[in-house]
C-alpha cells in the first residue's frame, strides 16, 4: 500500500519509496508552451510547491537522464516527454532555511553563505560535465564573499563557456518574510529597497535573464510583496499565479481527493 506523502518535498524519494503521487506532470508542458522562460508562482505554505520544484529538477537535470524511466514512466510527461527533458544543468537556491540572525549584518552573512554553498554544490555535482574553462572559474567565484558578486561572476562565467542552466528558487520570500516577523519594517526595507542586499541579488538575476545567461527560471513563494519590492514590479519575468490554466498545478482538487479516498478505502485503511 502506498504511503501518505505528508511533508515530502523530494520527488525522487516520493517515487522510489512507494508514496502516493498525484500526477501534476502535465503542467511541465504547459510551462514550456508559455511565451516567457522566467516564471514566478505563488501559493500558501504546505501546498506542494517544493515538491513541484523538485519534480522540475529531476525532469530537466542532465544527471537524471538515466533515471527518467524509473521516475516518470507512469506519468503524463513520461508518456509525452518534451524535447527539453534532461537537457539542463540545474542551479537551485532554497531560501527557506536561512536564519535571519539578530540584524541585517547577521542575516546578510547567512545569505551570502547559502549562495556560496549552493554554487559550490553546483561545481561539485557537475564537475565531470562542465567545460574545463568553466570549472577553472570555481575558485575565483567561491573566493568572493558577497552573494550578488558571486552570482554575477558565475552568470558571466557560464555564459562565456556556453553552459545552459535552469535556475530554480524555492521559498524566495521566506527569508524576507522572517525579517518582517522577527525584526521590523525598517529592517525589511533596508534589505529589499535601494541598495539592499536582497534587492541587489535579484537585480543580478534580472540581468542574467536579460542577457540570456539564465536559460530558464522558476521561482516559488508565498506572497507577491517581496516580489514587487525586489524586482521593480515583477518586470523580470511572468507571474503565473493567477492564470486559470495553472490553478491546480499544486494542491489537491476535489476530484483528486476523491481518488485518494477511494484508493485507501480499497486498501482497507478507511471504513
SS3 per residue for the chain: CCECCCCCCCHHHHHHCCECCCCCCHHHHHHHCCCCCEEEEECCCCCCHHHHHHHHHHHHEHHHHHHHHHHHCCCHHHHCCCCCCCCEEEEEEEHHHCCCCCCHHHHHHHHHHHHHHHHHHHHHHCCCCCCHHHHCCHHHHHCCCCHHHHHHHHHHHHHHCCCCEEEEEECCCHHHHHHHHHCCHHHHHHHHCCCCHHHHHHHHHHHHHHCCCCCEEEEEECCHHHHHHHCCCCCCCEECCCCHHHCCCCCCCHHHHHHHHHHHHHCCCCC
Q: What are phi and psi of 97, to 5 degrees?
A: -105, 15
How does pLDDT run along the chain (271 residues), one tens digit per residue? 899 888 889 999 999 999 999 999 999 999 999 988 999 999 998 899 999 999 999 999 999 999 999 999 999 999 999 999 999 999 999 998 888 877 788 889 999 999 999 999 999 999 999 999 999 999 999 999 999 999 999 999 999 999 999 999 999 988 888 888 777 788 888 888 878 898 899 999 988 988 778 999 999 999 888 887 877 645 678 899 999 999 999 999 999 999 999 999 998 887 6
What is the C-alpha to C-alpha distance for residues 117 and 125, in angstroms, rounded to an integer?
Answer: 12
Amino acid at each position: 500500500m502506498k504511503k501518505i506523502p505528508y511533508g515530502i518535498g523530494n520527488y525522487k524519494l516520493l517515487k522510489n519509496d512507494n508514496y502516493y503521487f498525484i500526477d501534476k506532470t502535465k503542467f511541465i508542458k504547459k510551462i514550456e508552451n508559455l511565451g516567457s522562460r522566467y516564471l514566478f508562482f505563488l501559493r500558501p505554505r504546505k501546498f506542494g510547491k517544493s515538491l513541484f520544484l523538485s519534480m522540475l529538477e529531476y525532469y530537466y537535470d542532465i544527471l537524471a537522464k538515466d533515471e527518467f524511466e524509473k521516475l516518470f514512466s507512469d506519468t503524463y510527461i513520461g508518456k509525452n516527454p518534451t524535447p527539453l527533458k534532461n537537457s539542463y544543468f540545474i542551479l537551485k537556491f532554497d531560501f527557506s532555511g536561512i536564519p535571519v540572525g539578530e540584524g541585517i549584518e547577521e542575516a546578510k552573512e547567512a545569505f551570502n553563505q547559502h549562495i556560496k554553498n549552493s554554487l559550490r554544490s553546483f561545481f561539485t555535482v557537475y564537475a565531470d560535465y562542465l567545460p574545463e574553462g568553466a570549472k577553472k572559474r570555481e575558485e575565483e567565484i567561491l573566493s568572493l564573499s558577497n552573494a550578488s558578486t558571486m552570482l554575477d561572476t558565475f552568470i558571466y562565467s557560464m555564459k562565456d563557456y556556453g553552459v545552459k542552466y535552469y535556475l530554480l528558487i524555492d521559498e524566495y520570500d521566506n527569508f524576507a518574510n522572517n525579517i518582517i516577523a522577527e525584526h521590523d519594517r525598517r529592517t525589511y526595507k533596508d534589505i529589499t529597497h535601494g541598495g539592499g542586499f536582497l534587492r541587489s541579488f535579484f537585480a543580478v538575476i534580472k540581468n542574467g535573464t536579460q542577457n540570456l545567461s539564465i536559460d530558464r527560471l522558476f521561482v516559488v513563494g508565498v506572497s507577491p510583496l517581496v516580489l514587487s519590492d525586489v524586482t521593480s514590479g515583477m518586470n523580470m519575468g511572468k507571474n503565473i499565479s493567477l492564470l486559470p490554466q495553472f490553478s491546480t498545478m499544486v494542491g489537491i482538487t476535489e476530484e483528486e481527493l476523491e481518488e485518494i479516498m477511494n484508493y485507501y478505502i480499497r486498501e482497507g485503511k478507511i471504513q
